[in-house]
Structure 1
Amino acid sequence: MIEQIFDKDEKRTIARKVLEALKDWFEVDESREQYIRESADRIFIAAKENNEYVGFLCLKETGRDTVELAVMGVLMEYHRSGIGRQLFEKAKAIAVSEGYSFMQVKTVQMGKYPDYDKTNLFYISCGFKEFEVFPEYWDEDNPCQIYVLSLR
């Protein structure tokens, strides 16, 4: 079941559960804690299976017409089950209903790490298009790929 969560404490609890289980992607403690903290004030969509939250997605406004898929995580045992796609589709529908024209997402550039290549392929399969690479946005070992998606 995919649902929008409004309670700030519940958002933080779900984000913490999922992100702490995904330390291969969210290994930097400060960054992970920032995602958890900021999730409370964002559009927050969660996935529930067997009465347990197993994934979530947060949207962040980055401009009057643009929303960013700021953070997304699905527990490893639920990867490739369609939950990520369902979270994205719900997020996209909410972004459209809120009047946004574009969605963006940032990830590590394709070709750097196999796990991030899977992430890139997921975003491409959702309809995102390559926008720009910022080689030192995070650091030289993690060039930032920005993808964009038209919502209109």
Structure 2
Amino acid sequence: MVVEITNPQEKQMIARSILEALTDWFGIEESREEYITGSADWTFFAAKEAEKYVGFLCLKETGKATVELAVMGVLKDHHRSGIGRQLVERAKEVARSQGYEFMQVKTVKMGVYDDYDKTNHFYISCGFKELEVFPLLWDEWNPCQVYVLSLK
């Protein structure tokens, strides 16, 4: 079940519990803390199973017509169970209803790390299209791939 969370402290608690369990993707503590702090102010969806939060997704506005999927995490033992797709679908519905025309997401470029290749394939399967790679946006070891999705 996907629910929207509005309490800032609850958002941060959920984000922390999930991101700290996903160090293959969120291993840099400074970056992880930025996501946790930012989650308090972003539109926040959480997936719950058996009274436990197993995934979440945050949206933040990046332009008048564009919202960014700022951070998303699903506990590893729940990967490939449909939870990530449910979170993305809910986020698309809400973003569309709020008048946004595009959704973007940033991840590490395909072909750099196996775990991120799985992430890339997931976003592509959700309808995102490659927009551009920024080789040095983060650092030379993590070239940033930007994907976009039309909400029209």
CA distance in 1, matches of 2:11, 2:141: 31
1:75 Cα deviation from its structure 2 partner: 0.3
Where 2:45 maps in the other structure, the secondary structure is strand
- Give the residue type in structure 2 aligned to 1:57: L
Q: TM-score, normalized by length of structure 2? A: 0.99
Query: Runs (4+) of structure 1 moved beyond 2 Å?
Result: none
Residue 76 in structure 1 maps to residue 72 in structure 2: no
Q: Offset of 1:121 from its aligned partner? A: 0.2
C-alpha distance after superposition, 1:105-124 (max 9, x if no partner): 00000000110000000000
Q: Distance in 1 between matches of 2:5 and 2:93?
A: 15
1:25 aligns with 2:25: yes
Instruction: Please list every run of 5 or more consecutive structure 1 residues that lacks an aligned counterpart in the other structure.
Output: none
Identity of aligned pairs, percent?
70
What is the aligned-residue RMSD (CA, Å)? 0.4
User: Which structure 2 residues correspond to residues 17-96 of structure 1 after superposition, within 5 A?
Assistant: 17-96=17-96
> What is the count of residue pairs matched by the alignment?
152
For 1:2 and 1:120, locate their aligned partners in 2 and report how far apart those are by CA, in whole Å: 22
One-letter amino acid of the structure 2 residue matched with residue 68 of structure 1? E
Aligned to 2:138: 138
Q: Partner of 1:2 in structure 2?
A: 2
Alpha-carbon deviations, 1:41-84, whole Å to 9, x = none?
Answer: 00000000010001000001000000000000000110000000
CA distance in 1, matches of 2:140, 2:30: 19
Matched, 1:11 2:18: no
